[in-house]
Amino acid sequence: MQEQKMSVIFEPSYTLDVLHFLDHLFTPRALPNEEMVCYFEEYLGDDHEKTLQHIRKRLMKFETIAEVLIPLLTADPEFNDLQFSELLASPKYLIHQYKRTASYQDASKEYKKFLKSEAESILLKVGPLIQRLEKAKFKTYWLHSCLPLVNQKIKEYSKDIHSLNLSKRFGPQDQIIYVLSCIDTDRVDWVHQKLMVSQTCSFQTFMYDWVETYLKSDCPLTKPRGYERKVKRNKELMIIYKKVKENHASIFDYIETTIKLAMTVHISQEWGILENPQDYLKDYQSGHYQVALLFYQELEKGQYRHLTLQQCAHHLLEHVDIQCYDAHLGLMT
């Protein structure tokens, strides 16, 4: 039987870029496209600035417009082929579509509350802002100044990715990757099984972040019965964990993070995009995740090369004895 291959599809997205561009407007931070940002800010004027700042005040804490609205807009499978006026014609429909996705089940309480109280109103306010930008020829600017850079990066990514056996790691699936020009530098987002990456992102950073993001989002681990009790017997491990305890929901969450860190580093080394992996793990986050070396050394034995990332994560959890970790040596005893 013929082996199924993974299909990777790179695409530009005007829709996603213009949402990210809204987050560049009327902010004090320095931006690489500052001259064009100033031009569009002047065109929008004081009234639209007030609208934008009003929207920001109603967003969840620390969230941007793009982060809050992209999950809603991309819940429509045809979002990248629609005009904004069509896409935003029915905010209720977008919210309804999002609630039918797997992402909604994993959404935070704050985001679900936002959907109830603020989402529809903000979507209605964003529409006129984008219409005003398009009156100022933003789409023309994007087509002539942004799209050529995006298309060049897509060519580079496509060439570099060709040599990697992605099917072996991710399984036979289609992966859509949107390459954007207005997203923050060196940033990879994962929404509804779609990747979004900046056209300024190096191939090495892109691939590392792809594996890391995929493991966090799509490879959940189930805690075995009695696992935490067993882990807590390793006093050296508990000392390290207490230093980063506030960053994790539980000791199991910490262990899951170190398993996925070890896997990300190991695959990155295998693909030639990361050097000195053991030193990287020893120094990662001030050395507070050195237990990842235990799982990395297991991966180095080569017994997991035939497994997908999901299968590999489960095998590491089930077959690596956490009691073998020596915090002083950073390896198995």
Q: What does 124-183 look like in DSSP terms, one character per residue?
A: HHHHHHHHHHHHTTHHHHIIIIIHHHHHHHHHHHHHHHTTS-HHHHH-S-EEEEEEESSS
Whether the full predicted model's pTM is greater than 0.75, yes or no, is: yes
Interval 117-176: pLDDT, tens: 899 999 999 999 999 999 999 999 999 999 999 999 999 999 999 888 787 788 777 889
- With CA atoms as reference, report the closest residue to 18 among 91, 70, 77, 55: 70
- Judged by DSSP in three states, 331 sits in strand
Q: Which pLDDT value is given to residue 43?
A: 93
- With CA atoms as reference, report the closest residue to 51 among 125, 110, 119: 125
- With CA atoms as reference, report the closest residue to 95 among 72, 117, 79: 72
Question: Cα 127 to chain center, whole Å?
Answer: 26
Q: Which two tokens stand for residue 94?
A: 């977008």
Question: 246 pLDDT band (50/70/90 cuts)?
Answer: very high
Long-range contacts made by residues 117-122, C-beta under 8 angstroms, separation at least 24? Answer: 118/58, 118/59, 119/68, 119/72, 119/91, 119/95, 120/91, 120/92, 120/95, 121/58, 122/55, 122/58, 122/59, 122/65, 122/68, 122/69
Interval 68-88: pLDDT, tens: 999 999 998 889 998 888 888
Q: Which two tokens stand for residue 111?
A: 């985001």
- Measured N-to-C along each axis, helices 91-99 and 65-73 cross at an angle, to the nearest 10 degrees, of 80
Question: 7 pLDDT band (50/70/90 cuts)?
Answer: confident
Exposure string of 167-180, with b = 16+ CB inside 10 Å and e = fewer, is ebbbeeeebbbbbb
Q: Which pLDDT value is given to residue 192?
A: 79
